[in-house]
Amino acid sequence: MRENPDPETGEVSLFDPELATCPQPVYARIRTRCPVARAAITGSPVLTRYADVLWALRHPEIFSSEMELQMALGTERPMIPQQIDPPAQTRYRKLLDPHFSRKKMEELVPAIRRHANALIDKFEDRGECEFDQAFAVPLPCTAFLSLCGLPLADLDHFLEIKDGIIRPQNIHPEAFEGLPPDRLMETAKEIRAQAGRRLYEYFEKVIDDRTENPKDDLMNSLVHAQIDGEQLTRSEILDICFLLLLAGLDTVTATLGCNIAYLAANPDQRRRIVEEPALIPGAVEELLRWETPVAAVPRVCKRDVSVNGFEIKAGELVTLLIGAANTDDGHFEEAQAVDFGRGRNIHLAFGGGPHRCLGSHLARMELQVAMEEWHRRIPEYRIKPGETPRFSPGIREAMYLPLEWDRG
């Protein structure tokens, strides 16, 4: 397998299997050899150092989230509030932030804890499970659908749509077989567009239902919400729902799988949090830094700018490689060590600046509760002998994580 980044061209393959399975060594090579790299195939700039990535996140007037629709994930319009910039974005954040406040998320803890234990009840006595499908998918997805007021019976439908948008090569591998590199992106775009249409169609019906039959849930709040005295349009509601569903059904699942995969492969670290549960909040933050499931985010450069002596032109698509920034020795002391007691762990796993993750309080709460209950019930676990976990590129989900433990 050719080294990433390419030693001859310096280009970085963002969908390299090694980058999905064990990204930290790749990040180190990229930062050392080319702190501002070029992506393979597209040739677009890739920022890798913490200071550069944070600066870009904090300056949307230069590195904008407002990209052409060809960069959209199956959308007809920008997702709100992620793909619009201030000041318009600020209006939507003021509307949405209270629904995802720390206090409101804490109210969900008892229900999340009960659900975590109900899931573990199903497989604890078997002494094994495939963690992604048995726990990492249903726990956060059920919590999110309940918050929104969406039926749990539709979860499989949502997951199929979500994976068609985020991981088209995994959901439809046959469509990509034998394709040349220049056709891969076009094929992915077509599959995403089909999945996106299904998502719009679903939420059109939900909007109609909440208009006629108000309920006490997030969807109802959106349908009847106002900004500056004006009710949200149908398109605005759809564009908010598109983002909420993708984020709510994917990122916590991906993070939880990466966390447990790391702990299964590092028993000394696992035993630390079993013996000292008070370390779990710090472990959640440190594994967000180290694993960084949402490894990269795109931006478009609005004007010519120089970063580390590297010239980026207006109109260029720029990738902010958050995973590389989070393991940057130039910012974090002993960045290559996983330290659950790390102080001032100001990582960028939830982004930064005005587009910082809307659901960060929800994610932290779900991860902490999941880690507490899993390690209370199943303290001694390991990757099943003879098996190899499989990770998806892009958003790093442990899509196959076979675990076993001693029964009784």
CATH of the domain at 314: 1.10.630.10
Could you count the other beta carbons within 10 Å of the beta carbon of residue 52? 20
396 touches 291 (CB < 8 A): yes
Residue 333 lies in a domain: yes
Residue 284 lies in a domain: yes
Is 280 within the bounds of a domain?
A: yes
Looking at the structure of the chain, the number of domains it has is 1
Query: Parallel, antiparallel, or unpaired for β 398-400 and 390-391?
Result: antiparallel
Two structure tokens written together for 400: 């196959």
Sheet holding 128-130, edge to edge: 128-130, 402-404, 382-383
**How far apart are alpha carbons 201 and 197 in whole angstroms?**
6
Q: Long-range contacts of range 339-347, CB-CB < 8 Å, 24 or more positions apart?
A: 339/286, 340/269, 340/272, 340/273, 340/279, 340/282, 340/283, 340/286, 341/279, 341/282, 342/282, 342/285, 342/286, 342/289, 345/282, 345/285, 345/286, 345/289, 347/285, 347/288, 347/289, 347/292
Strand 398-400 with 63-64, pairing: unpaired
Q: Over the chain (408 residues), what is each successive 10-residue block's mean pLDDT?
A: 72 84 93 85 90 97 82 84 94 95 94 96 97 96 91 92 86 80 80 93 96 94 94 96 90 96 98 97 98 94 93 94 96 97 96 95 97 98 97 90 91
Neighbour-count burial for 249-262, b at 16+ CB within 10 Å, e otherwise: bbbbbbbbbbbbbb
Instruction: Give the CA count within 13 Å in the CB-facing half-sphere of 119.
Output: 25
Closest CA to 219 of 201, 204, 197, 198: 204
Q: Record the tokens describing residue 214, joined without a space.
A: 């108000």
What angle is formed at CA 214 by the lines to CA 213 and CA 219, rounded to 5 degrees? 115
pLDDT score at 71 = 61
Domain range for 67: 11-404
